[in-house]
């Protein structure tokens, strides 16, 4: 059974969930610090399901961060906890004060230390999934090769993080033929991107697949399974705001475009 088939049969959305306008795959366009310095070079991706999220940061050689966590929302701030990450150190301890306009999601650090501009990446409507990885077992030996981590799917964007001593993390984009084009990953090995071989079981899902020549079994708990979700670029505005833009479009929109 494919993961989409499971989602169609057993849709799941956590309660309370994060706002729908935070769900999807975002790439950071910039981070500006209180000192006045701005970083636009570090590649940072954030994939957010109903609660589970994956985070990837690739900066200078050797500066790599990756992890999966659970997000909660109090109406103004988002907090992240229960990390399975490459770095055990809590490098980004602050919650995020979030606001979204168009495809730009702005995150303020409450301390004033920085502000980040995230951009929703191009999406076709599709599945949103957040699965917590319990463990991954080599079926031939019975050895647990990974424990902790998760799978986050946002339309054609997906992230797979597998914890334990041999930590791996990968983010890719599914093509129309089902193949995944890797965008960022910690090593060159195939992480086992398949979204097939799933079966509902007590307390969650199991998945059987062949990865790097080995037959493996993965066990997941389910956080989010939404079979169909739209990822609109536009957000709401007051009547005044909409009328203003329509009135002034000839000049204020003359050189505008959608920036990812």
What is the per-residue pLDDT across 141-176, written as a single tens digit (0 to 9) for each?
Answer: 999 999 999 999 999 999 999 999 889 999 999 998
**CATH number of the domain that 193 lies in?**
2.40.128
CA distance 115 to 213: 44
**CATH number of the domain that 73 lies in?**
2.40.128.280
pTM tops 0.75, yes or no? yes
Same domain membership, residue 128 and residue 223: yes
**Share of residues in the chain with pLDDT > 90 (%):** 85
Q: Is residue 259 part of a domain?
A: no
Contact 159/173 with Cβ under 8 angstroms? no
Same domain membership, residue 106 and residue 141: no
User: What is the domain extent for residue 113?
Assistant: 20-122
Same domain membership, residue 131 and residue 67: no
Same domain membership, residue 137 and residue 225: yes
Q: How confident is the model at residue 39 (pLDDT cuts 50, 70, 90)?
A: very high
Q: Is residue 37 part of a domain?
A: yes
Mean pLDDT, rounded, for 50-74: 93
Q: Is the peptide bond before 16 cis (omega within 30 degrees of 0)?
A: yes
Q: How many residues does the chain have?
A: 260
10 Å CB burial of residue 142 (0-12, 13-18, 19+) is: exposed
Query: 96, 122, 148 — which closes off a domain?
Result: 122
Cross-strand pairs, 226 = 128
């Amino acid at each position: 059974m494919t993961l989409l088939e499971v989602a169609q049969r057993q849709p799941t959305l956590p309660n309370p969930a994060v706002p729908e306008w935070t769900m999807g795959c975002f790439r950071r366009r910039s981070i500006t610090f209180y000192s006045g310095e701005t970083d636009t070079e570090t590649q940072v991706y954030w994939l957010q399901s109903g609660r589970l999220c994956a985070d990837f940061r690739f900066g200078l050689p050797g500066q790599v961060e990756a992890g999966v966590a659970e997000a909660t929302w109090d109406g103004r701030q988002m907090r992240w906890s229960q990390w399975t990450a490459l770095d055990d150190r809590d490098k980004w301890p602050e919650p995020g004060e979030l606001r979204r306009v168009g495809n730009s999601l702005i995150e303020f650090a409450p301390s004033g230390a920085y502000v980040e501009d995230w951009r929703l990446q191009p999406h076709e409507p599709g599945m949103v999934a957040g699965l917590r990885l319990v463990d991954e077992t080599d079926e031939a030996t019975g050895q647990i090769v990974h424990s902790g981590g998760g799978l986050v799917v946002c339309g054609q964007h997906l992230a797979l993080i597998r914890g334990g001593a041999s930590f791996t993390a990968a983010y890719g984009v599914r093509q129309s033929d089902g193949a995944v084009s890797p965008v960022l990953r910690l090593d060159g090995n195939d992480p086992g991107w398949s979204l097939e071989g799933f079966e509902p079981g007590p307390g969650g899902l199991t998945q059987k697949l062949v990865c790097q020549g080995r037959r493996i079994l993965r066990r997941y708990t389910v956080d989010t399974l939404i079979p169909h979700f739209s990822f609109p670029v536009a957000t709401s505005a007051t009547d005044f705001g909409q009328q203003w833009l329509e009135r002034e479009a000839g000049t204020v929109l003359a050189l505008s475009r959608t920036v990812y």
